[in-house]
Structure 1
Amino acid sequence: MKLIEFEDLPVTPWKNGGGVTRELYCHPAGASFDSFLWRVSIADVSQSGAFSSFAGVDRVITLLEGEGMDLVSDSGNHVLLSRLRPHRFRGEDQIAAQLEGGACQDFNLMLRRGAAAGEVQVWSVDQNLEQGCNLLFCVQGRWDVLTQDGEHVTLEPRQSLAWDQPPGKVSLRSLSAGSVLIGVNVNLK
């Protein structure tokens, strides 16, 4: 189990200058954009513009902060991201984002197609996970996390817990009203 402090993560500017990203976790550790199997990051989006292309990668994006982001594909499809609603798309799709009312922050899961499959879940009530998960991110409030092996951590806002292998049964307990937690489950093929 690894506790990750958001403030300790290095900030990396995007190639197009439209924002910055912070990598929460990458598997395998230290892998490049061409060799990761799965990756989780948080991006600050300061202006409208095109998404970077990631051929062969499935993506799940979840808006954390901001009034919304309209995603427009080259085929003309529109998806308006609203807060805490995960949206899946293919990394090679040509996507342009139009910010709705200013800067946004989003949570990103990237999965190498054919090597990893996964999902993002958002919880606001206590959970008992029979199979655990790979990563937890505390969006707001406080959460007690207890594994079947007796590991116990209290997550504060913007803290994460990550496991290379899910720890089996995990109990998640909200410690304050309005608490929100994101969970990432990944299966390597």
Structure 2
Amino acid sequence: MSPRIIRAQDCPPQPWKNGMGRTREIAVFPPGADMASFLWRISVAEVDSAAPFSAFPGVDRHIALLDGAGFSMTLDGAHTHRLDRPYVPFAFPGEASVAVSLINGATRDFNLMLRRGQAVGRIDAWHAPGRYAPGADVVLIYCARGEAVTVDGVLHAGDALLTPSPGVELELRDSTVIFAVSVEPPGK
């Protein structure tokens, strides 16, 4: 795939798999894959009620708060995690039963889903002004806040750069936050 900027306005909202919320798919691999066949998927979810998360058996999930006060996640009725610090990723298994309790109103969160046994990945948050060079395993750069400049174009909040050019550098300005999403085959 060649580098491509994905603008926020070009990602229409879709219902969650369980129909109880909305998500905006940013990228999926292989291109055009559905919920049963993706290797990896990146999206932004809008959480405005205490709806449970959709179950994704065999999928590893990573989530990071973008906007709002966040929510409390209770996994399988036992472990509770507060997703209340913006831009701090949290990983959990997709088959977990996840109940949500909003802390103070609606939120938005960034999501990475990886088919277990076929891909491993992570979300790295970059937030200090300066120049950054993503590694070869970075499949997508998402501008969570502010503005970033690359040779492939300018990313504004909500925009993403799919498959950054080899050797590309990003210039982050004051208060910019970028998520660099890395994906590799397992065992690398």
* TM-score normalised by L of structure 1: 0.90
Paired residue type of 2:155: L
From 164, 168, 171, the equivalent of 1:170 is: 168
Residues 96 and 154 (structure 1), Cα distance of their counterparts in 2 relative to 1, 3 Å cut: same
> In the TM superposition, what whole-angstrom CA distance separates every residue of 1:59-108 from its partner, at most 9, and x where no partner exists?
00011011021010124111001211100000001111111000010100
Tell me the CA shift for residue 154 of structure 1: 1.5
Tell me the CA shift for residue 40 of structure 1: 0.2
For the 8 Å contact 1:18–1:48, the answer to whether it is kept is: no
From 136, 141, 144, the equivalent of 2:146 is: 141
Residues 113 and 16 (structure 1), Cα distance of their counterparts in 2 relative to 1, 3 Å cut: closer
Tell me the CA shift for residue 132 of structure 1: 5.8
What secondary structure is seen at the aligned counterpart in 2 of 1:24?
A: strand
Consecutive unaligned residues in structure 1, runs of 5 or more: 147-151
Consecutive unaligned residues in structure 2, runs of 5 or more: none
2:8 aligned partner? 6
Distance 2:135 2:116 in 1: 25
1:181 aligned partner? 178
Distance 1:188 1:167 in 2: 20
Tell me the CA shift for residue 17 of structure 1: 4.6
Distance 2:137 2:93 in 1: 26
Cα RMSD over matched residues?
Answer: 1.6
* 1:115 and 2:118 correspond: yes
Alignment of 1:1-189 (within 5 A): 1-14=3-16, 16-81=18-83, 82-125=85-128, 126=130, 127-131=132-136, 133-146=138-151, 152-163=152-163, 167-175=165-173, 177-189=174-186
Distance 2:42 2:100 in 1: 19
Residues 130 and 46 (structure 1), Cα distance of their counterparts in 2 relative to 1, 3 Å cut: closer
Distance 1:143 1:32 in 2: 30
